[in-house]
Structure formats: C-alpha cells, structure tokens
Structure 1
Amino acid sequence: MSPVSFSREQGDALQALLPELEFSGEFAGISSDDPLLAAYLGCYQLDFSARFPGVHHEIGIVNAAGFRIATQCWIPPEARGTLLVVHGYYDHVGIYDKVIAFGLQQGLAVLAFDLPGHGLSSGARAAIDSFDQYGDALEAVLLRAKGQLPLPWYGLGQSTGGAVLLNHLWRYEIQRVEPWLSKRALCAPLILPRGWTRGRWLYMLIHRFVRQLPRGPSRSSHDEEFIRFLDEQDCLQSRFLSVRWVGAMKNWHAQFLRFQPLDTPALILQGTDDQTVAWRYNLGEIQRRLPQARVQFIEGAGHQLVNEREDFRDQVFVTLRDYFCTLP
C-alpha cells in the first residue's frame, strides 16, 4: 500500500504528542512536518495536499468516555458540507484513505476518528465494555466539531462503524429537535457476525477464562493488495479478537432489538459475498426498525466495501455520491 514504514511504537509516541483538537487553523503542540506525523501520513497515504490543493488537515485529541480519541479532519476550500466517517472493528482512520479522497472529491470536509482501542486512540486494543462507549465517543467528536465544520453533515459507517451510527441515532439523535446528521449511510452494518450461532456457545464457554483469541487472516475484501497490507504491514491493526469486545457486541445485539421503529431514512450498502457479518439477518432487523431505509446490494462484493476491489468500490462510491450529493 505504501513504501513508508510506521511502527506501533511510533504510533504510541505520536498519540502522546497529540494536543487537544482545537480547529484553530494551526497545529498546536505538534508541527505539521513532525517526523512522526509525517511517517504516519506517508504510510497511510493521508496527505492529500498534492491531490487537493488548499486542503487543510487538523489532527488532535477529543476526550470522551474516559478515552483520548484521535480525531482528524480535512477541510477543502469552500467546503459545501461535511462527511463523518466511522470505521469498523480492528480498523482505524489510516486505512480509509479512499473514503477521505471520495469526500474531498465531492467538495466535502471529512471528519474521522479512531474508535476507543483502535488506531491512535487510547484504550485496550480492540476491546470495549459497551457499544454505548462508541456512541458516546461519536457524540463528543460531533460536539467538538459543532460550529467548526460546514453543514450539512453526512454520516458514513463501515461494519461496526454502522453499528455506532445506529447506537448514536437512538441514544442521541432522536432526542434533538433537529438531528445533526442530515443523512447516514451504513456499509455492511454489524448487528451480529457471521457464524454467531456457534460463536455464542464458544463465548459462553470461554469468556470467564480467556481474554483474547488469535485473529485469522483477513477475508474482508477482494483487493489482494489491501488484504496483504492489513495482514503483513499495518501495525495499528490488532492481531487478536478481544473476548470482552465479543461480550459488548452480544449486548449490542440485545440492545438493538429493543429499539423502537423510526421513520428516519438511511442508505444501507451490502455486498453479497460478505463473509464477516450475518448480513441477511442484520438487514431484516435493521429494516424492521428503519422501514424507510433503502438497501443497495453490491453483487459479489465482500465486507470491506470502502476498501474493496476497484470495480466493486466504484459501485459503492457512485451510490454514495448519488445519495449524499443530491437534494432529498
């Protein structure tokens, strides 16, 4: 993916250097050409200054739910809205370069953050006690961005990121007179993972005695270069499945089933070769609670829709462009 190397130790050092996110227009506490930041941006191809002249990049910390949440935004000149990006389990902002470029191509500012326990954010790696903590982190990031980034705001969540948007919708957005997110798109959203019937019994047997399980090879995309990068080069990917996270996911499923139906529209994109989530079950449960949601299938695509092979990814981004960038 990139010839520039970056290590977990460098990631920890960079996290420690990050100041609070201020939207000041200038870097405070860390220089934009700091070697750690330059190595991070180079490794994950997040420096968009050449491709999008005039784009301004901010990076810093938002304190939320007891975590230091690493948050970034890219703001093009005369941005006409903001795209919020919420990544999936194991992931982090670094591997969402294609999504960020998509947003900038549409003239949108892009706001993205690493979930607790992921990427440059604090917390036990890939672990969480409750998905509510993810929703609380999202709310804190939006509060910090309120009044700083242009409206309208659009939300895009991949897998667990889709679950975070759903959690936030029921726990925060429906309490407001005017929702902050004008539109939301869910890519392969997580309610339950594939194989959960068997996985549930395994969890019941081991969760009191085992903290983590080895993570197998990635099978989430047909883009072989992307998969190779995840498995062999991405130091910010956890190599273990947290049993505590599985318990939180189990509770998220039960919580979601208790949510009352809403008239809120949404776009759901789903690959038909998804080997990660129980997508048929998940779509049924989501549509029961969001009957106005529209489902768009991407035939043959896997789970990592925003990081799929180019032919699949093009379909995803065309659908997102039509959804976000046309009037309701």
Structure 2
Amino acid sequence: MADSREHVLEGTRGTLVVREWPHERPRYVALVVHGYAEHAGRYGDLADVLVAHGAAVYGPDHVGHGRSAGERVVIEDFEDVVTDVHAVAEVAHAAHPGRPVVVIGHSMGGLIAARYAQRYGDGLAALVLSGPVIGAWETPGRLLAEAEAHGEVPDIPVNPAALSRDPEVGAAYAADPLVWHGPMKRPTLEAFLRTLETVAKGGDVGALPVLWLHGDDDRLVPLAGSRIGVERLSGGALTEHIHAGARHEVFHETDRDVVLGELLRFLDGVLAA
C-alpha cells in the first residue's frame, strides 16, 4: 500500500483531518470524497491505483466522521462540507499548481461531489460518482417519518453485507472503529433532504466529463433513483458503467479490477483531452 500522510486543517465546523497519498510529480490531483458513516482511510486501495496512475490523492474525513471534529455522523449543512472539500483542493493546488483536478465521490460523497461540481466546476477536469446519493433517495424521508411517529430515529445500521459480495469487505467494515455503527441522526437526515433538493435545482455541470459507476444490486442507494439525479446533473458528457450483481461499494466489489480499469480509461481520456 502506498505511503500516506496527514494534514490537519481548520474546517467550517472544527478540525478537519485530511489523508494524502503523495506523488512526487503527479499528472493530476484526485480528491476522494467518502460516504456516510465511514472515513477516507477506507480508500487506501483506490488511492494506490490512482497514485500508480500518476495522481496525488487527497481525502478528507468529513465533519463528524473518522478523525475529524464534530458529533459523530452529524452534518447540519452539506454546503459546509463542500466548502471543506474546497479547502482541501486549495491545499492540493498549492502543492501541485497547474495540475488538473478530478473529484471522486462515493454514496453520500457523491452528493457532496455533485454539489461541489455545481459550485466549483470551473476548477475541475472531471467528476466521478460511485453509487451516488442523488436524485430520488427515499431513506431520509422514510426515517424522519418514522421518527415523527415513534419519537426517535430508528436504529437501523448499515448491513455490512450490503456493501459488497466480498465478505472480507463487510467484515473489515464491521470491525473498523472509525466507522459509525449506530443510528442516523435527525440533523443529518434533514440536511440530506435539503441538499438533494438543492442539487436537483442547481443545474447541470455543462461540459464537465462525468463518470457514473453503480451496482445494479445496490440496496442502500438504488440504481433507479440515482439515475434521475445523474442524468439531470450531467450536461451531456456522461459515461456510465452499471455492474450486474454488484452491491453498494463498486470499488470494493468482487469485480473491482474491472471497475478500476473503467475509471482509469475514463481519466486517461480526460487527461488526453
């Protein structure tokens, strides 16, 4: 596994811990935007592949996640998280001036990355969305309705088996002390609803190349709901790869080598252009 180092930034709501997988002379910068309840450290294998491909890779732990500050898994405003990711991009720009930047967002990170592209797309070379929370995602509304009916958000943690057909992925997730295994929090659910609407109304990303990767057996973020959002977000430069039988984390799936090959071919095309 490639060496990594940490940066500590002052984020919008406290200390932000950022992992960097460095490259001495990168062709490009990749910002990896992790999903709900997890942390950037789960993307070490992806970072290894990107570094070998010529990238300097940066991944922040979002507020309330991993080793960053904040009450666990509480995100009151995703606009603040987008601002935090932009602060990381500025660190990367300072270290590697003139290098093209791509953002790779998974799940909740796909929602953050989509909004990032709407706000800061002029500074991006490409956007990659993996199992993105975008479009029609019913989970927040359903959990909030149950909270209204019963007085609290139901404790329904992520089922590790829903992540990948590889049982080692689920076992590692279940044993990871930096992963949150408890219930979702009301402020975060409310923020999801607001930001899904904001992205839906925020317009497309124009000519920015977009790669969409999704498993057709994703039960956490179903394919059909994401398609609505991805097609609305894309300005027309959309490449999609839907993987038969794959679950939520396509970068950790049993056919991950195929997925990573698709990612690198897409990035090669972007960099060549």
TM-score, length-scaled by structure 2 = 0.89
Paired with 1:120 and 1:193, the residues of 2 have a C-alpha distance of: 30
Task: Tell me the secondary structure at the aligned position of residue 228 of structure 1.
Answer: helix
Percentage of pairs with the same residue: 23
Once the two structures are superposed, the pairs formed by residues 209-288 of structure 1 within 5 Å of their partners are 209-210=151-152, 213-218=155-160, 219-231=162-174, 233-240=175-182, 241-263=184-206, 264-288=208-232
CA gap 1:62/1:207 in 2 versus in 1, 3 angstroms: farther
Q: Equivalent of 1:204, from 130, 142, 145? A: 145
Shift of 1:153: 1.4
Unaligned runs of 5+ in 1: 1-46, 50-56, 174-178
Question: Do residues 67 (structure 1) and 9 (structure 2) align?
Answer: no
Aligned twin of 2:262? 319
Which has the larger Rg? 1
Q: Equivalent of 1:165, from 99, 113, 130? A: 113
Shift of 1:79: 2.0
CA gap 1:243/1:192 in 2 versus in 1, 3 angstroms: farther
Shift of 1:317: 0.3
Contact kept? 2:125, 2:209, Cα under 8 Å: no
Count of aligned pairs between the two proteins: 265
Contact kept? 1:207, 1:243, Cα under 8 Å: no
Task: Tell me the secondary structure at the aligned position of residue 77 of structure 1.
Answer: coil
| Higher RCO structure, 1 or 2 (CA under 8 Å, sep 6+) | 2
Moved more, 215-224 or 267-276: 215-224
Task: Tell me the secondary structure at the aligned position of residue 95 of structure 2.
Answer: coil
CA deviations over 1:195-226 (Å, ceiling 9, x no partner): 54xx6244134159426734143211111011
CA deviations over 1:259-288 (Å, ceiling 9, x no partner): 223323211111111111132122123212
Contact kept? 2:137, 2:226, Cα under 8 Å: no
Q: Which consecutive aligned stretches of 4+ in structure 1 deviate over 6 angstroms post-superposition?
A: none
Higher helix share: 2
Contact kept? 2:13, 2:69, Cα under 8 Å: no
Task: Tell me the secondary structure at the aligned position of residue 154 of structure 1.
Answer: strand
CA gap 1:224/1:201 in 2 versus in 1, 3 angstroms: closer
TM-score, length-scaled by structure 1 = 0.75
Unaligned runs of 5+ in 2: none
Contact kept? 2:217, 2:248, Cα under 8 Å: yes
Shift of 1:123: 0.9
Aligned residue type for 1:154: V
Shift of 1:192: 5.6
CA RMSD in angstroms, aligned pairs only: 2.1
Shift of 1:180: 2.0
Paired with 1:230 and 1:262, the residues of 2 have a C-alpha distance of: 33
Aligned residue type for 1:70: V
